[in-house]
């Protein structure tokens, strides 16, 4: 395992912060929503997909630098991690609990970018 150079770690942190800032609903997970690589990521992405709104994701298996840095930045050791409007919501257990309590849906609905069903005629 290679040690990250300090400037490399700063670049990674800047990239993570930019991803969190630019994506109102962001899931850091193992794999992708269609091909998750772990059960927790699968459950988390299924709960998010069930909310019916678009969300961004980052496959940490394809981004080992993010996988190494994010737990330190977030102060959260495990994946998946759900970020909504720049705030860490939590991991799989929290996501599923919020979904079952009907707390996740309004949160995602409010944060997700508005997608018009019909193109506007303006």
Known binding-site residues equal 30, 38, 67, 79, 92-93
Numbered residues of the known binding site for glutathione? 30, 67, 79, 92-93
Which distant-in-sequence residues (6+ apart) come within 8 Å of 67 by Cβ? Answer: 60, 61, 79
Under 8 Å CB-to-CB from 41, ≥6 apart: which residues? 29, 30, 31, 79, 80, 92
Binding residues for [2Fe-2S] cluster: 38
């Amino acid at each position: 395992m290679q040690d990250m150079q300090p400037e490399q770690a700063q670049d990674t942190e800047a990239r993570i912060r930019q991803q969190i800032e630019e994506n109102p609903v962001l899931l850091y997970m193992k794999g992708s929503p269609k091909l998750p690589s772990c059960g927790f990521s699968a459950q988390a992405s299924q709960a998010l997909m069930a909310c019916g709104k678009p969300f961004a994701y980052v496959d940490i298996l394809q981004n080992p630098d993010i996988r190494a840095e994010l737990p330190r930045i977030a102060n959260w050791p495990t994946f998946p991690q759900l970020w909504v409007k720049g705030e860490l919501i939590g991991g799989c257990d929290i996501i599923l609990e919020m979904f079952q309590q009907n707390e996740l849906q309004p949160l995602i609905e409010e944060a997700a970018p508005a997608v018009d069903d019909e193109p506007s005629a303006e």
